[in-house]
Structure 1
């Protein structure tokens, strides 16, 4: 595939990021997670149950940290969106006026609308990040049940691993949602910067047109009388 083909195919994703549904990947993930569960159930960890329990705790804590990190970023993004919306709204009155050229006004309104759409979509993905729940956690009951077994450390390690496997899909969904929120928020900031640049440059352009317009009229009149 050439660079030109890649560029045009990736343009919609560049302008408006989206998640493609991949049923084949979902099926493979189901098989993978099912295989991991079966492997954990049949695994013999009694050779070094202390090391197995320590490693299971490390993996369990790492997955919890991934989930908490996504939730923390979602809260930060929502705060940034809440702060940026009033700033954008304050610019709306300056986008179109009596002295504003039609082309410049239309361009400013389009960029403003695009920035607002990006912000709304970023907020939606951030809310979705917080909405995804990761409910498989260890509890005192797991410890009680584990210590009723012949090898309690091995049983607890297996329970921790099963909780991690059960949470994989939810944690991955959280990470995906926060990545999408990041993509839209980045585009919102870029379009917002573009809008500010247009507003800053527009007076210079209007002044240049006004300064050049009399000369243009004068040259036309001289040609008419020549």
Structure 2
């Protein structure tokens, strides 16, 4: 069962929905963190506590900005791949891409379109408008009306950071999914081009050696005493057809006597 999950996830990345018990546990842990912050009351080094709270808040803000920048970059890549998809689809439809089977080209191209589309969808989810908690003017004024304003600012900074973590984690998850789909789209493009190149060179080489192979086949048939009128030519393109050897009898006689 585990290997099936890995195979499916390799071809189509997906997220597992959290179970209800996991959701409740996450909510309980968040409320516990909030209560711990509200009861936080350092008796010494209040400035150090505020400095650390601001550092954590800045780190979370950098995570948010980094995910937004990556999502914008991925959208640029997706918008660049769309014209390539259109061109490649038209080329495959007109059978101008190598000699690979049409069903392979169309299936691989359809998979590439899906990968690119879902990469764009996940990148847009990163950039969608979401709730963000910040310290405002009223929070500053309210903190300075307390006996320990530094402690109050520290608490509110930590509360905002904790409340923003879930939204930032969702952004990071979305950017990872966009990256996974975009990587598979590029891999599908590479496979299409590589397979068509291999088929093109293979068909070219076979067509160049077709005459020699037919000559060797006729010589083999003569060696085992098969009458030319009852033999078949070998068509390397996969379509055997009945041969008329009346024009080649002199050549075959010469080969048989030599």
TM over 0.5: yes
| Larger RCO, structure (CA 8 Å, separation 6 or more) | 1
Q: Which residue of 2 aligns with 1:19?
A: 15
CA distance in 1, matches of 2:183, 2:57: 31
* 37-46 or 180-189, larger mean C-alpha shift: 37-46
CA-to-partner distance for each residue in 1:45-67, whole Å, 9 max, x for gaps?
Answer: 24221011101101111111111
Q: How many residues align?
A: 222
Instruction: Give the secondary structure class of the aligned counterpart of 1:56.
Output: helix
CA distance in 2, matches of 1:212, 1:225: 24
Higher helix share: 1
- Give runs of aligned pairs for residues 120-159 of structure 1, distance below 5 A: 120-131=117-128, 133-159=130-156
Q: Which residue of 1 aligns with 2:165?
A: 168
1:191 matches 2:193: no
Offset, 1:209: 3.1
Larger Rg: 2
* 212-221 or 153-162, larger mean C-alpha shift: 212-221
Offset, 1:43: 1.2
Aligned with 1:9 (options 1, 5, 12): 5
CA-to-partner distance for each residue in 1:155-188, whole Å, 9 max, x for gaps?
Answer: 0000010001111111111110001001001111
CA RMSD across the alignment: 2.2
Distance 1:9 1:34, change over 3 A: same
Structure 1: stretches of 5+ with no match in the other structure: none
1:30 matches 2:32: no
CA distance in 2, matches of 1:134, 1:144: 23
Aligned with 2:205 (options 205, 208, 216): 208
Tell me if the contact between 1:132 and 1:174 (Cα under 8 Å) persists in the aligned partners: no
Distance 1:85 1:98, change over 3 A: closer
Structure 2: stretches of 5+ with no match in the other structure: 229-258
Tell me if the contact between 1:108 and 1:198 (Cα under 8 Å) persists in the aligned partners: no
CA distance in 2, matches of 1:98, 1:196: 13
Q: Which residue of 2 aligns with 1:63?
A: 60
CA distance in 1, matches of 2:115, 2:139: 44
TM-score under structure 1 length normalisation:
0.89
Aligned with 1:77 (options 74, 79, 84): 74
CA distance in 1, matches of 2:213, 2:76: 51
CA distance in 2, matches of 1:220, 1:186: 51
TM-score under structure 2 length normalisation:
0.79
